Structure 1
Amino acid sequence: MKDLTLGMVIAVWEEMFGPALFWGMAGAAAVVTLLYLYVLIRDRRVSWRKFLLAQLAMPFGAAAAVGFVWRITHSGLRDVGGPVDVIVLMGVAAAGAVGAAVLVYTAQSLVRRPAAEE
């Protein structure tokens, strides 16, 4: 493994999660991202109230992402063996936190249209 390429990373993730789950998650992430961009363009501004509520979801998203990865890989806290494992788990937690915030902000914006002044 001399070079780290996108194809190799996708192959590893497909092996870890299975092709159906991996591509399902990738598709869901793409849909949520497109809806988020739609909401930002539609509203022409960021609602800071919705943004704050979305940030409150971040710790839950981080914990859910780490728990999900541990469940899929049949491992847990006892299997964290070194600094690289901690760095990977921090990356998974960060991705889960950001994903939860984007999902909550998007859901709030799609359910409740922006007021004239918020």
Structure 2
Amino acid sequence: MEELSFETLIAVFEEVFGTFLFWSLVVVAAVITIGYIYVLIRDRAVSWRKFLLAQLSMPVGAVAAIYFVFWVTKSGFADMGGPIDIIVLLGVGLAGAIGAAILVYTVQSMIAPPEQES
């Protein structure tokens, strides 16, 4: 593999997660992202109380993402072989943290729109 392309990345992710699980995760991420954009446009402002609660969910999202990847790949911390594995692990944790924050903020905003807040 001489150069990294988008198609190569998709093929690698499909191989790691399986085709069905990978595309299911893509669809779920797209739906959550569309919901988040909808909430931001609808509210026309960020609710800092909801944002703080969403940030508090970030460590849980990071741990859940790492655990999920270890579970899917049937591996663990003992299988990590070098610095790139640590970098990938940190990236997975960061993506899980950001995803959890976006999910929590979106769900909170869908359940309690701004006019219902105290």
Fold equivalence (TM over 0.5): yes
**Paired residue for 1:100?**
100
Aligned counterpart, 2:61 = 61
Give 2:23's aligned amino acid: W
- Unpaired runs of 5+ residues, structure 1, are none
CA distance in 1, matches of 2:30, 2:73: 24
Shift of 1:115: 3.4
- TM-score, normalized by length of structure 1? 0.97
Query: What is the CA distance between 1:92 and its match in structure 2?
Result: 0.3
Alignment of 1:9-88 (within 5 A): 9-88=9-88
Could you say what secondary structure the match of 1:41 adopts? helix
**Unpaired segments ≥5 residues, structure 2:** none
Q: Kindly report the root-mean-square deviation, in angstroms, between the aligned alpha carbons of the 2 structures.
A: 1.2
| Distance in 2, Cα, partners of 1:4 & 1:25 | 22
- Kindly provide the amino acid, as one letter, of the partner of residue 17 in structure 1: F
**CA 61–116 in structure 1, closer or farther in 2 if over 3 Å, else same:** closer
Offset, 1:81: 1.3
Give the fraction of aligned pairs with identical amino acids, expressed as a percent.
59
- Flag the 1:19–1:117 CA change in 2: closer, same or farther, 3 A: closer
CA distance in 2, matches of 1:60, 1:117: 25
Give the alignment's TM-score, normalised by structure 2.
0.97
| Distance of 2:113 and 2:70 partners within structure 1 | 37
The count of corresponding residues between Structure 1 and Structure 2 is: 118
Q: 1:116 to 1:22 in 2, by over 3 A?
A: closer
Taking the aligned partners of 1:2 and 1:74, their CA distance within structure 2 comes to 28
Give the stretch that moved more between structures: 34-43 or 75-84. Answer: 75-84
In 2, Cα distance between the equivalents of 1:79 and 1:31?
33
